[in-house]
Chains A and B, each alone.
Chain A
Amino acid sequence: MTISNDTAAPQRTSVPGGKKKNSLTAGQKPGWTWIAVLAGALVVAAGITALLGGGSFSWVGWLVIAAVLYVLGMYLATRVIENSRRATDGLWRNLVWAAFLLALIPLISVLWTVAANGLPTLLETPQLLWRDMQGVTGSDDIATQTEGAPLAGGFLHGLVGTLMITLLATIISVPIGLLTSIYLVEYGRGGWFSRAIVFFVDVMTGIPSIVAGLFAFAAVQLVITTFIGDGPRQLQMVKMGLSAAIALSVLMIPVVVRSTEEMLRVVPNELREASYALGVRKWRTIFKVVLPTAMSGIASGVTLSIARVTGETAPILVTAGYIATTNWNPFDGWMTALPVYIYRQLINPTAPAAADPSAERAWAAALVLIVIVMLLNLIARIVAKAFAPKKTGR
């Protein structure tokens, strides 16, 4: 807000003095204040850090203290030069900026950690992508760590498991979610039953993912012990891809319902009426007018929900077990999902005495997982943008 004061107004040329002061900018602190305060804060913070830290100088501590001092210094400077209202305004502006910068730290740190740990491994041994852990023993990892043998194993089984489980969960959730939201928007009309569904969908949104896993496990176990038997072999059957898919569906259905419902609600009523007025039945109107109009939004919402459950670990951990070989059949036998693989490699390394190869595999898998999830998010955004129907002329 520094208005160039020399060219202010022609009427005021009679005011004496060469450098005229614009009354609107009077009483403002000079533009270089913040540089002075920043420099001061950095110097003082260096002193404090050196004193507090004793012998060692902490760079992080220096920056944190400097930031605090800068915010305080700007507040005091503004308060002295201008007034307390402007000072408060500036203080909160700085705090809001600080909040934003603070949130960037973990984000950058997480992405950097994954990339720095995962990328070299993945470039060095891309075989990880198409090998599983079959036959990989602790001695292989010890050889890798101590003698520099190439990294053994891989996570193909994790990719396959994630793919099959997510696919199955999508097949279960999308029809239920889609039909429910159609019921809510097109048929429910705010009656008690649709209000009940909205309420319970909200409740479902809040189910912790591990509880969803326990539910799927308990439900499948109950079904199997009731209809097939409760021998040890039958109990073994409970852990399979399908159980994990049921668990993920519990998490996915509410997301699909909410996003689809929102998309259906923004379809203009005029289009439904135009269709009805042409003598088209309701279900055909829904199928051929409402759904196509909302399709890009629905597809993007479904993709986002897939992205969300792809990264889930806990429910799969308790429902699908953990194996080293690739299993394509989600209805029989244990399955490993990529997130579970990462978790297991980190917490139970293949060779407890030589954990580094396991960690390397885990980070490479984490990188692949992040890339998959980010790609799904990107696809969702592109679908939402590119295939949105053109707005009708208003």
Chain B
Amino acid sequence: MTDTATEPSRRTSLKGSRGGEAGDRVFSGLALTAGIVILLVLAFVAVFLLIESLPALWPEAFSDQDTIESADTFWQYVWPLMAGTLIASIIAILLATPVAVGIALYISHYAPRSIATPVGYVIDLLAAIPSVVFGAWGMTVLAGAMVPIYAWLNEYLGWIPLFGGTPTTTGRTLLTSGVVLAVMILPIITSLCREIFLQTPKLHEEAALALGATRWEMVKMTVFPFARAGIVSSIMLGLGRALGETMAVTLVLSPGIFSWSLIQSGRNATIPSEIALNFPEAFGMRQSELIAAGLMLFIITLAVNMVARWIVSRHKEFSGAN
């Protein structure tokens, strides 16, 4: 053991070379650059979408045409699409939320541990199935299964505009799309809610049980007040996902003009499916129209996600999770 070999890093004085410090600077610079890249990418998303959609948003100024191709003005073109997108997503939320909260509760507070873990895996499995597969399933299996239900709804509840008109014979309607979307966002809402339910302070729960509460009363007294903000924000995140979901709707829905009836084929369309169906063959003004529609979708989902984050941050100090 020679001294020179064993003491390469040894110094006798504090002053002198600061070897290796460059490594620190280079690496922290790299890490910072990566962060900046992310911000730039996001800025580019907004700017590029805006630039490419300007001809459709304002044809007089940014193109050599006076109007867009599909309608007189962009708003006339886009509002039925926005309405369709929102309606399908709201159907999905209405259907998925109770079930998702129920499953989350089942996993966190009802099922025995030996069942809760596999159920958690099953939910994750559901989340992993690609959307195009859900779309194919919705188109071939679910749509057919929904036809008798639509006939029944039309016969008995046809006086409600939502179920009016001539019911579909293929089942490829906005309501079917909403059901497929519900199945797709179910695992998202479930896993978010499960996380939050599991964070309920054990002491609160035990205090409730010690006071003689039944399990449901315990859930009502401790879990829900604790998790309210979290449930709302997971619903909003699920909504954001449903708004942007493309393939399922594209495959299931047979699109058309806007209609209040949810059980007719060849009615309604959503922004993502409109883009997916038409973009591959679009060029020039049509392409701008579709990109502009995408920009609208971006703004809507952004707003929904912002509201979700805002709810979470507003309630953070009361959640006790930190």
Residues of A within 8 A of B (CB): 58, 85-86, 88-89, 91-93, 95-100, 102-104, 106-107, 109-110, 113-114, 117, 175-180, 182-184, 186-188, 193-194, 196-197, 200-212, 214-215, 218-219, 221-222, 235, 250, 253, 257, 279, 281-284, 286, 307-308, 310-314, 317-318, 321-322, 339, 342-343, 346-347, 359, 362-363, 366, 369-370, 373-374, 377
Say whether B34 contacts A318, CB under 8 Å.
no
Say whether A281 contacts B103, CB under 8 Å.
no
Cα-based distance from A8 to B245 in the complex (angstroms): 60
Say whether B38 contacts A208, CB under 8 Å.
no
Cα-based distance from A86 to B247 in the complex (angstroms): 45
Task: Tell me the chain B residues, 104-150 only, with Cβ under 8 Å from chain A.
Answer: 105-106, 110-111, 119, 122-126, 128-137, 139-142, 148
Q: A114-B133, A211-B45, A311-B129 are in contact. Are A218 and B102 (CB under 8 A)?
A: no
> Shortest distance in angstroms between A325's beta carbon and chain B's nearest beta carbon?
17
Out of A201, A222, A363, A377, name the residue touching B136 (CB < 8 Å): A363
Out of B44, B99, B294, name the residue touching A210 (CB < 8 Å): B294
Say whether A110 contacts B134, CB under 8 Å.
yes
Say whether B279 contacts A193, CB under 8 Å.
no
**Which one of B66-74, B159-167, B214-222, B259-267 is at the interface?**
B214-222
Out of B119, B219, B276, name the residue touching A318 (CB < 8 Å): B276
In the complex, residue of chain B having the shortest beta-carbon distance to the beta carbon of A92: B216
Cα-based distance from A114 to B141 in the complex (angstroms): 10
Cα-based distance from A175 to B37 in the complex (angstroms): 11
Chain B residues within an 8 Å CB radius of A205 = 305
> Shortest distance in angstroms between A292's beta carbon and chain B's nearest beta carbon?
16
Out of B44, B45, B216, B250, name the residue touching A88 (CB < 8 Å): B216
Q: A113-B141, A200-B38 are in contact. Are A313 and B280 (CB under 8 A)?
A: no
Q: A104-B122, A208-B243, A219-B44 are in contact. Are A175 and B34 (CB under 8 A)?
A: yes
Out of A253, A314, A363, name the residue touching B38 (CB < 8 Å): A253
Say whether A214 contacts B33, CB under 8 Å.
no
Say whether B251 contacts A346, CB under 8 Å.
yes
Chain B residues within an 8 Å CB radius of A377 = 124-125, 128
Out of B9, B42, B136, B186, name the residue touching A204 (CB < 8 Å): B42
Out of B130, B251, B298, B306, name the residue touching A311 (CB < 8 Å): B130
Say whether A283 contacts B27, CB under 8 Å.
yes
In the complex, residue of chain A having the shortest beta-carbon distance to the beta carbon of B186: A103
Q: Is the CB of B65 closer than 8 A to any CB of chain A?
A: no
Chain A residues within an 8 Å CB radius of B131 = 311-314
Cα-based distance from A193 to B34 in the complex (angstroms): 12
Cα-based distance from A219 to B101 in the complex (angstroms): 40
In the complex, residue of chain B having the shortest beta-carbon distance to the beta carbon of A340: B132
Say whether A204 contacts B38, CB under 8 Å.
yes
Q: Is the CB of B20 closer than 8 A to any CB of chain A?
A: yes
Say whether B31 contacts A369, CB under 8 Å.
no
Say whether A283 contacts B186, CB under 8 Å.
no
Chain B residues within an 8 Å CB radius of A114 = 133, 136-137
Q: Is the interface of A mostly helix, strand, loop or mixed?
A: helix
Say whether B38 contacts A370, CB under 8 Å.
no
Q: A103-B126, A179-B30, A250-B45 are in contact. Are A218 and B52 (CB under 8 A)?
A: yes
- Most chain B Cβ neighbours within 10 Å, of A96, A98, A196: A96
Out of A180, A206, A212, name the residue touching B34 (CB < 8 Å): A180
> Shortest distance in angstroms between B249's beta carbon and chain A's nearest beta carbon?
10
A-B contact pairs, 17 of them (CB 8 A): A96-B106, A100-B111, A106-B142, A193-B35, A201-B38, A206-B304, A211-B49, A211-B295, A215-B44, A218-B291, A281-B24, A310-B130, A311-B132, A313-B132, A314-B250, A318-B280, A339-B132
> Shortest distance in angstroms between A365's beta carbon and chain B's nearest beta carbon?
9
Residues of B within 8 A of A (CB): 9, 20-21, 23-24, 26-28, 30-35, 37-39, 41-42, 44-45, 48-49, 51-52, 98-103, 105-106, 110-111, 119, 122-126, 128-137, 139-142, 148, 183, 186, 190, 214-217, 219, 237, 240, 243-247, 250-251, 272, 275-276, 279-280, 283, 290-291, 294-295, 297-298, 301-302, 304-306, 309
Q: A89-B215, A97-B106, A373-B128 are in contact. Are A109 and B137 (CB under 8 A)?
A: yes
Chain B residues within an 8 Å CB radius of A279 = 9
- A210-B244, A377-B125 known; 14 new pairs, CB 8 Å cut-off, are A96-B105, A99-B100, A103-B190, A110-B134, A114-B136, A175-B34, A177-B34, A197-B39, A202-B305, A208-B294, A214-B294, A286-B27, A313-B131, A343-B247
> Shortest distance in angstroms between A17's beta carbon and chain B's nearest beta carbon?
29
Say whether B137 contacts A100, CB under 8 Å.
no
Cα-based distance from A107 to B125 in the complex (angstroms): 9
Say whether B34 contacts A176, CB under 8 Å.
yes
> Shortest distance in angstroms between A263's beta carbon and chain B's nearest beta carbon?
16
> Shortest distance in angstroms between A388's beta carbon and chain B's nearest beta carbon?
17
Chain A residues within an 8 Å CB radius of B214 = 85-86, 88-89
Cα-based distance from A150 to B219 in the complex (angstroms): 59
Q: A103-B103, A314-B247 are in contact. Are A374 and B125 (CB under 8 A)?
A: yes
Out of B23, B128, B246, name the residue touching A283 (CB < 8 Å): B23
Chain A residues within an 8 Å CB radius of B130 = 310-313, 339, 369-370, 373
Say whether B244 contacts A209, CB under 8 Å.
yes
Say whether B301 contacts A307, CB under 8 Å.
no
Say whether A184 contacts B27, CB under 8 Å.
no
> Shortest distance in angstroms between A211's beta carbon and chain B's nearest beta carbon?
5
> Shortest distance in angstroms between B309's beta carbon and chain A's nearest beta carbon?
6
The 9 residue pairs across chains A and B that have the minimum distance between CB atoms: A208-B244, A99-B102, A311-B130, A179-B34, A314-B246, A206-B305, A183-B31, A89-B214, A283-B27
Cα-based distance from A211 to B276 in the complex (angstroms): 10
- Most chain B Cβ neighbours within 10 Å, of A86, A97, A210, A343: A210
Chain B residues within an 8 Å CB radius of A363 = 136
Q: A96-B105, A109-B137, A187-B28 are in contact. Are A194 and B276 (CB under 8 A)?
A: no
Cα-based distance from A223 to B49 in the complex (angstroms): 13
Cα-based distance from A218 to B142 in the complex (angstroms): 35
Cα-based distance from A253 to B45 in the complex (angstroms): 14
Say whether A211 contacts B9, CB under 8 Å.
no
Cα-based distance from A95 to B125 in the complex (angstroms): 23
- Most chain B Cβ neighbours within 10 Å, of A202, A283, A308: A283
In the complex, residue of chain A having the shortest beta-carbon distance to the beta carbon of B294: A214
